[in-house]
Structure 1
């Protein structure tokens, strides 16, 4: 194809349509969003929920969101910075913390909807592939109760094998939310054999990779005591043993299932005193004239007149 010069003349700019604000900011893929939000017309206005996962430098955000004309409405949310209330004090952005955040979100959502007892999810986090099935209704044997369903929304994150967004997905599924997925992006999946190694996935869920690295760093730090250790400084100051990490996550999962509504106590607001004001006080006419005379007198004195 020959090179064609792009001419941006008056006609081009008259017909130019500005893209959506969040597209201009590079925050939203509207093609993907349109496909996720679009609801089947046979559903007659029933809401379509999304499991929205966003990972920042210091936090993991998981929300159940419904799209409305006025904007997105959040049904329930869970954050990794809430995990210290359940015993996970450090490492709030790793794969194990992502799983715990997804589990917390699932149990909170189902508790709010009143179906937490009916859909317990996986009894034990073994890392294997599982899906939430329909349950028989208590009122009759023939009727079935469908699980709460949400589709995964990862935003602009890269969906590589072993990514932490799939840790949140696995936690939500084990917590009792039906999220359509396949196991080929979980840690431990072998593409050639088309099979998932559940043991590798389980080790990630319980932070075994963190424990192994912590053990290695501790050994290096003990062999070189003069060298300052940068990694796992919070773990070491809290004297967290590598052997105790798996047990910490097990206790956290049990605590989340026992009471998902628990959160960190709110910090008491400091009673502030008088704030310093940087606004200059308005001068009266007499004050302005006196200030001008003082300036003139200072200049004359400096010049020796």
Structure 2
């Protein structure tokens, strides 16, 4: 069969339907969103909550969101940079920080709803797979606050950080339907979860192991990669205690504000300008090109 050119006529273009803007921009998976926000019709005005988890280069954003006709409503939010108030100053985007941020938003939303005493979750994380169950109160059985994990466009590989956030929120007392299959330590052949491996990730054990290995093998690289840890006198042996104390502090006060003065608008603007590349003229660009050419010729 020979090559046949596809000819798109006026009829094709006149009937062409553009996709939603956020789909065109690659920001929203509407197939998943439709299933996450559609509520059962027999539940009437009961909101369906999503635990939204998003990762940036330097932060983790977590929100409890419900969808309405007028738009999405945020019930509570927590960010990894807030962990500085609880003693976690470094590695704010790793697996352990994701767990701590999940724990923070869980305790925060339950405190806001007055359910923090009823649903305490797992107070000492041991890596075991658990789901938040109904609790007995003076008024009878009380079901836990329920939310569904919303990972957006992130890959859901086994051991991914989004599941660290999920585990933290689940241990914090929120009921999030899930299984143990995507946690680090799950063996696909035996179909069992190694609780010790999961516990290691919760308390930064994997980071501690890497720190020790790198310090022994390549000290120069260690000093460069963990420079902030060294400045704050954080050693591999002290990571577990650091995260343990942070988890306790989060449970004591999930609304704690960081100490110290906030940066002013002018200070943030000055910081922003440090990373902004100055625009150069056409003549300067041409001069730079010629300089590079001369450098290459000189090397030859």
Q: TM-score range by the shorter chain?
A: 0.7 to 0.9
Give the match for residue 179 of structure 1: 176
1:102-113 mapped onto 2 (5 Å cutoff): 102-113=102-113
Secondary structure at 1:97's aligned position in 2?
A: helix
Shift, 1:201, TM fit: 0.2
TM-score using structure 1 length: 0.83
Structure 2: distance between partners of 1:62 and 1:178? 16
Q: Mind listing any 5+ residue stretches in structure 1 that lack a counterpart?
A: 273-305
Give the match for residue 185 of structure 2: 188
Give the match for residue 137 of structure 2: 137
Structure 2: distance between partners of 1:255 and 1:48? 30
Give the match for residue 95 of structure 1: 95
Structure 1: distance between partners of 2:75 and 2:138? 26
Give the match for residue 250 of structure 1: 244
Shift, 1:193, TM fit: 0.5
Shift, 1:130, TM fit: 0.1
Structure 1: distance between partners of 2:100 and 2:202? 8
Q: Mind listing any 5+ residue stretches in structure 2 that lack a counterpart?
A: 268-300
Provide, for residues 169-228 of structure 1, a one-character-per-residue CA deviation record: whole Å limited to 9, x for no partner.
Answer: 000000000000000000000011010000000000000111111122223455xx6x78
More helix by share: 2
For the aligned residue pairs, the C-alpha RMSD in angstroms reads: 1.9
Structure 2: distance between partners of 1:4 and 1:111? 65
Structure 1: distance between partners of 2:17 and 2:262? 48
Residues 106, 172 of structure 2: 8 Å contact kept: yes
Determine which of 224, 235, 243 is the counterpart of 1:241: 235
Shift, 1:239, TM fit: 2.1
In the superposition, relative to structure 1, how do residues 33 and 2 fare at CA in structure 2: closer, same or farther (>3 Å)? farther
Shift, 1:7, TM fit: 2.5
Structure 2: distance between partners of 1:116 and 1:170? 17
Shift, 1:137, TM fit: 2.3
Shift, 1:231, TM fit: 1.2
Give the match for residue 144 of structure 2: 147
Number of positions where the alignment pairs a residue of Structure 1 with one of Structure 2 = 266
Residues 95, 161 of structure 2: 8 Å contact kept: yes
Residues 217, 231 of structure 1: 8 Å contact kept: no
Residues 188, 198 of structure 1: 8 Å contact kept: yes
Determine which of 242, 262, 268 is the counterpart of 2:256: 262
Secondary structure at 1:65's aligned position in 2?
A: strand
Shift, 1:9, TM fit: 1.1
Give the match for residue 156 of structure 2: 159
Structure 2: distance between partners of 1:61 and 1:159? 17
Structure 1: distance between partners of 2:2 and 2:183? 45
Secondary structure at 1:85's aligned position in 2?
A: helix
Structure 1: distance between partners of 2:88 and 2:75? 25
Structure 2: distance between partners of 1:57 and 1:44? 40
Shift, 1:264, TM fit: 1.7
Give the match for residue 286 of structure 1: none
